[in-house]
Structure 1
Amino acid sequence: MSFTGTVKWFSAEKGFGFIARDAGRDVFVHYTGILGQGFRALSENDHVQFEITDSDRGPQAVQVRRVGSHGQE
């Protein structure tokens, strides 16, 4: 199942942050869950689409990709 949201914050130095889902609770994101080649990071207020998996520490965003403000890439 795919979700959308906005990046609340992301630390490129630490490699993780949080996404505010459009509907539901905030979700943790690790840089390994971001799609792309090379250096993978997000910026505050990026609009993203993602899936959620259950990790040993709780829900985590995976298959994260940036999208336009209305779900367009």
Structure 2
Amino acid sequence: MSAGERARAKAEQVVGKTVRKAAHALHKETLAAKGAALETRGRLRGTKERAKDTFTPWHLHALAPSRPGTFTL
């Protein structure tokens, strides 16, 4: 998962949760539903990126060694 996508997913989750809780406190149910939707979209975006990483072959990851068979720690 790229750092940008990870940050975007987490930001959507945090903003959605904040909007949802603030709207509940003000008894604005429509805005609370929009916040919950934003939070869910952030969770799904993160899940999608983790799934992409799961099915990406190891040699295509950014942390893979430059030459097969050579590992440096």
Alignment TM class, shorter chain as reference: under 0.3
- Structure with greater helix percent: 2
User: Which structure's CA Rg is the greater one?
Assistant: 2
